Amino acid sequence: MTVFRTLAIAGLLLGYAAVTSAQSAVDEIAKYRQQLQDGNPADLWEARGEDVWKQKRGPKGVSLERCDLGLGPGVVTGAYAQLPRYFSDADRVMDLETRLVHCMVTLQGMSLADATKRPFGSGTNRSDFEALAAWITAESRGTKMNVSISHPKEAQAYRLGEKMFYFRGGPHDFACATCHGESGKRIRLQDLPNLTEKAGAQLGYTTWPAYRVSQGELRTFQWRLYDCFRQQRFPELKFTSEASIALTTFLAYNANGAAFNAPAIKR
Ligand code: HEC
């Protein structure tokens, strides 16, 4: 089956209308996005995230201010542009959310179950991760992506992520590459970036987290992958799982060189 047909079927299955790729529509969408960008409610998540970072919490009653995101304890500015990365104190590669969980457990004394009980928010059940990610990533806005794969465990995560990206499976035999391996594809009003090309990988990665207008929530990269697993009809992607970190490493590394530009705002 050609990728185009697969995509068309994917569109139907997902209840999406096929969309024209006419340039005028593209221009209109760009205009709409620009208008949205001017009043991005992500600010609210950023403010709350800074509060959460500084609050004394957990059984040990300490803040996250000594959390080491890779550039030293408490250094937030620019840290996200170098994540995921290998952390020797945990002897593993971690993305932002995984590192935050690590700090909640080791610094604040939370149980793993408590720390991870609400990865994503809905309505009044807000997620600390979405707030923290909004603030922390905003502190890397404008910084060039600079993810390393020089440590063997980083290289291993990258290779695993790459393998997963091209791995076909599930009831529709989809891989990530089925939807994200061709340029100029769109479902509804949403571009399907070609993540196999430099420009697409950069755009697709550096614009998350994003405030989702349709959901009224700020969503993190963990959520992005979680939702694409759902669209792919794969088993539920476990929050901060090795699989999620590997895919993030693959995509983040491929975005190297581009200026980080989130939290963004999307449909
Ligand atoms: C069935 C088609 C489909 C599959 C398979 C799929 N995605 Fe997606 N992906 C989408 C759609 C549609 C969007 C954007 C639209 C939305 O949900 O708003 C998207 C968006 C994304 C984005 C954000 C791009 C941006 O510019 O905002 C990333 C990154 C991404 N997908 C990664 C993946 C990865 C990694 C996989 C494999 C685990 C995957 N996708 C599998 C359909 C798919």
For residues 15 and 9, give the distance between their C-alpha atoms in angstroms, rounded to a whole number: 10
* Ramachandran quadrant class, 263 (left: phi over 0; alpha: psi -120 to 50; beta: rest): beta
Residue 17's pLDDT is 39
Q: Is 180 in the pocket of ligand 1 (CB under 6 A)?
A: yes
Give the residues of the chain that fall short of pLDDT 50: 1-20
pLDDT tens per residue, range 42-83: 999 999 999 999 999 999 999 999 999 999 999 999 999 999
pLDDT tens per residue, range 135-144: 999 999 999 9
Residue 56's pLDDT is 98
Q: Which residues are catalytic?
A: 228
| Residue whose tokens read 């139907």 | 12
Pick from 2, 1, 4: nearest CA to 185: 4
Q: Which residue puts its alpha carbon closest to atom 12 of ligand 1?
A: 187
CB atoms < 10 A from the CB of 120, how many? 19
Pick from 134, 150, 162: nearest CA to 93: 150
Please choose from 13, 160, 179, 212 the residue to mutate so as to test ligand 1's pocket, defined by most ligand atoms within 8 A of CB.
179
| Residue whose tokens read 């040990």 | 60
Pick from 145, 31, 16: nearest CA to 82: 145
